[in-house]
A and B are shown apart, each in its own frame.
Chain A
Amino acid sequence: MSDAKLDRRKVVQALLDQRGDLLVVAGLGSSAWDCTAAGDHPLTFPLWGAMGLACVMGLGLALAQPRRRVLVVTGDGEMLMGLGSLATIAAQRPGNLAIVVLDNERYGETGMQPTHTAYGTDLAAVALACGFAEAKLIRSDAQVAAVRSGIHRGKGPLFYQVKVKRDAAPLVLPPRDGAYLKQRFREALIGKTAAAE
């Protein structure tokens, strides 16, 4: 049984508060709703599908924008579908990429079925074994402050598995139009010329 104390909404709120020029990719489901609850932002790309690809999307972005900090916020189910991407990321050693997995040990959008982390899969250990510069299990508010510091200043690739409570938070949905989400992100990052590419 999970003895998690952390509230996912409060964790994400703390991580995205005064985010500066942070670029964010949010994995599908609750993680995307958490990021939206912290404030819909043009430089957050919330996924509504493509399960398993949030982290590699963060990698492509981090490689394209080496001077910007990139954060992927996703869930344990989404992460489990793309475990191989941790090896792909570690091989590139992107210093500006951090991954935060909000681990409630459940598939939250489909009926709260247990994920593999409920049976003991240690995602942080997987990331470390793949070659991440740092991979930590986070259980307390005090540790969340260190995650925030890592996201903004740490030498990546960084991985934080944050154990969170299973409570369902109210739905706070981001825009659903993928073309719009893509275009507003590019315009906010690159400027008006993005549409002329």
Chain B
Amino acid sequence: MQRKISKTPAGAAAADWPGQIYRVLKSHRVGQVSYVPDAGHKRLIELCHADRGMKVVPLTTEEEGIGLAAGAWLGGERAALLMQSSGVGNCMNALTLSANCGFPLLMVVTMRGEWGEFNPWQIPMGQATPEALRLGGVHTLRLERTEDALETTVAAAKLAFEGYGAAAVLIAQRLIGTKSFGEKP
């Protein structure tokens, strides 16, 4: 399964939006990064795994990352959680940890079920994702353009770690490129 990366007119630095997000995780002293993988997160996950200063935790289901982040914060460490939008629904009950206890939570969510989605099974959760997060008390910031990756992720990190709450960056499917199972775009 290959995800087609759409060409952007932006410069090389902006095109490396996963690298920009990684740099924000570093500058905001994120020590634990957990994830359920998505093709759109492939490079960011690789960057984190390559960093010996980060503890990288593959999850069996997304809500584990919310418990993990709460435990990390109890122990004085910051955590981030990477997932695709289909995992957001799995997180709902766990969000009480941020809504009720004020545990910081930084989520980076790659969107499915929106721009040119070919898999109808992805559409219901993808369409419900922003509203589901809002209902769970998560502040959502949408990332539409690669050149905004750094600023948007910084804004979310501040909301999480300085605002003591939950914040999610929703990375638009159009930015990532639509999954096509090998068809020519």
Binding site for B on A (CB under 8 A): 23, 25, 45, 49-65, 68, 82, 84-85, 87-88, 91-92, 178-179, 181-182, 185-186, 189-190, 194, 197
Contact = CB atoms under 8 A, between A and B. Distances in A.
A30 B10 CA distance: 56
Interface of B: 31-32, 55, 57-61, 63-77, 79, 93-94, 96-97, 100-103, 161
Nearest to A55: B67
A59 B60 contact: no
B76 A64 contact: yes
B75 A53 contact: no
Given A57-B70, A60-B72, A61-B71, A182 B103 contact: yes
Nearest to B77: A64
Given A60-B68, A63-B32, A53 B74 contact: no
A59 B61 contact: no
A62 to B, nearest CB: 8
A52 B75 contact: no
A189 B75 contact: yes
B64 A85 contact: yes
B76 A65 contact: yes
A82 B96 CA distance: 16
B64 to A, nearest CB: 5
B63 A52 contact: yes
Nearest to A186: B74
- Tell me what chain A mostly uses at the interface: helix, strand, loop, or mixed: helix
Query: Which of A56, A58, A62 has most chain B Cβ within 10 Å?
Result: A56
Contacts of A179: 100-102
Nearest to A54: B67
Nearest to B31: A64
Q: Which 5 A-B pairs have the closest CB atoms?
A: A60-B71, A64-B75, A53-B67, A84-B60, A178-B101
Contacts of B97: 50, 53, 178
Nearest to A43: B74
A64 B29 CA distance: 13
B100 A57 contact: no
A56 to B, nearest CB: 4
A170 to B, nearest CB: 26
Contacts of A59: 57, 68, 71
Contacts of A185: 74
Contacts of B72: 60-61, 63-64
A45 B74 contact: yes
A62 B70 CA distance: 12
A61 B76 CA distance: 8
B60 A63 contact: no
A56 B64 contact: yes
Nearest to B29: A197
A186 B93 CA distance: 23
Given A55-B67, A60-B72, 17 more contacts: A23-B75, A50-B94, A56-B64, A56-B71, A59-B57, A60-B69, A60-B70, A61-B75, A63-B32, A63-B55, A64-B71, A64-B74, A64-B75, A64-B76, A65-B76, A85-B60, A189-B76
Contacts of B57: 59, 63, 88, 91-92
Contact of A84 (B64, B66, B93): B64
23 contacts: A25-B71, A49-B100, A50-B94, A51-B93, A53-B94, A60-B77, A60-B79, A61-B75, A62-B71, A62-B75, A63-B71, A63-B75, A63-B77, A82-B67, A84-B59, A84-B64, A85-B64, A88-B59, A91-B58, A92-B57, A185-B74, A189-B75, A197-B161
